[in-house]
Amino acid sequence: MDAISVIRTKRDRGELSPEQIDWVIDAYTRGEVADEQMSALAMAILLNGMNRTEIARWTAAMIASGERMDFSSLSRPTADKHSTGGVGDKITLPLAPLVAACGAAVPQLSGRGLGHTGGTLDKLESIPGWRALLSNEEMLHVLDTTGAVICAAGDGLAPADKKLYALRDVTGTVEAIPLIASSIMSKKIAEGTGSLVLDVKVGSGAFMKNIEDARELASTMVGLGTDHGVRTVALLTDMATPLGLTAGNALEVRESVEVLAGGGPADVVELTIALAREMLDAAGIKDADPAKALADGSAMDVWRRMIAAQGGDPDATLPVARERHVVTAPSSGVLTRLDAYGVGVAAWRLGAGRARKEDPVQAGAGVELHAKPGDTVTAGQPLLTLHTDTPEKFDYALKSLDGAYDIAAEGTAYEPTPVVLERIA
């Protein structure tokens, strides 16, 4: 085997053989295949695609590059959720303890934000003392004693994917659907969960901008999960508008706690319950009612135990940014559009996100929404509040909001987009 012949096969729209795939993933992980050679192969895959057989083998090779976790010692069935990323997407925070309160074990391996999409670990690290890095033994202990754990994936889990993702991020190949699907599913399958629900975002604030691409990605990942013996289902969900009323780390934690307390924005509650029902069904738990577990406080109890088990103080005061800037409505009427991408970029520029994985984030930075599409607004009323510790960032953030919202004449009819667009199983 040699890298050049593998690159040429895919460059010329050929099908990579199982032996070629196994060799190139292993050789790249060991450093025998150079970054520039894998970059060329990734670009050929982006341009020419892969069939289901190739994607399944690519995924299996990445799984084989590291360890596999085992949760068979747990007394509960396991269920996990993965989101493809969006703006204001804090769903994991209330969802994991909610599903645990209903009887499943939730081993949630999460990531950090990059660019305009927020990261679950960044959000939780705004809680004083909370730790994202756990050993496998610590992870299993938290899962066994609380029912849910949210933490970073260890270095031993699919190391080929970790190396390849960093390369894709700087070579313009992140959007390759076969590589997105295999990246997500290699980690989830290696994680050892018995069932998986995928939240595939669609819209301006998502990687998948249109329903056709989102459907293709979801179908590919459901197929990969099925091929590897993991019961998998996907929901296509709207990401044209930010989820909830906040985008930012501590801001989103605060909103998640409101949901666990029985309140919170309607769209966040709706999606949390919809995903919880899918996870419980996939885990074989038929008689639990997640809406009841939110209302009676049992999900909040699990949240508090889970945070404390990872060193966090669930009663601690969350960080607040030192500076604020209010964006007001320029006219009266009906807010008909609030662009998720524009809000996400503003939050990122305020310090809530990072341009490189090494960059720090501000816990209190972000954007607070005072109206959502369909709401009637009055000229001069607050539309958005920008939060940051570094006020010199305001002008840069405001540029991303130019043209990011539309206000129509009073009385204009508004047809809301459903939160859940499609289900793929």
Q: Kindly report, residue by residue over 251-288, the tens digit of the pLDDT.
A: 999 999 999 999 999 999 999 999 999 999 999 999 99
pLDDT higher than 90, residue 235: yes
C-alpha separations of 358 from 105, 113, 157, 355 in Å = 32, 11, 20, 8
pLDDT higher than 80, residue 357: no
- pLDDT given at position 169: 77
Q: Grade residue 359 by pLDDT with cuts at 50, 70 and 90.
A: confident
Q: What's the average model confidence in pLDDT over 99-123?
A: 91
Please list the active-site residues: 82, 161, 168, 183, 187
Report helix, strand or coil for 72.
coil
Lowest mean pLDDT among 11-15, 156-160, 311-315: 156-160
- Contact 105/131 with Cβ under 8 angstroms? no
- Alpha-carbon torsion 190, 196, 200, 205, what sign? negative
Cα–Cα distance for residue pair 205/240, rounded to 1 Å: 6
Residue 48 neighbours by CB distance under 10 Å? 15
The answer to whether the predicted template modeling score (pTM) of the entire model surpasses 0.85 is: yes
Write the secondary structure of 202-231 as one string of H (helix), E (strand) and C (coil): ECCCCCCCCHHHHHHHHHHHHHHHHHCCCE
Q: Which residues, in sequence order, are bridge partners of residue 236?
A: 200, 422
- pLDDT given at position 118: 85
Q: Which domains occur in the chain, in start order?
A: 3-49 (1.20.970.10), 80-154+191-309 (3.40.1030.10), 323-408 (3.90.1170.30)
- Contact 116/367 with Cβ under 8 angstroms? no
Cα–Cα distance for residue pair 121/278, rounded to 1 Å: 23
Token duo for residue 285: 């738990």
Q: Decide which of 207 and 88 is more confident.
A: 88
- pLDDT given at position 162: 87
Instruction: Give residue for tokens 């909830």.
Output: 244
* Average per-residue pLDDT for the chain: 95
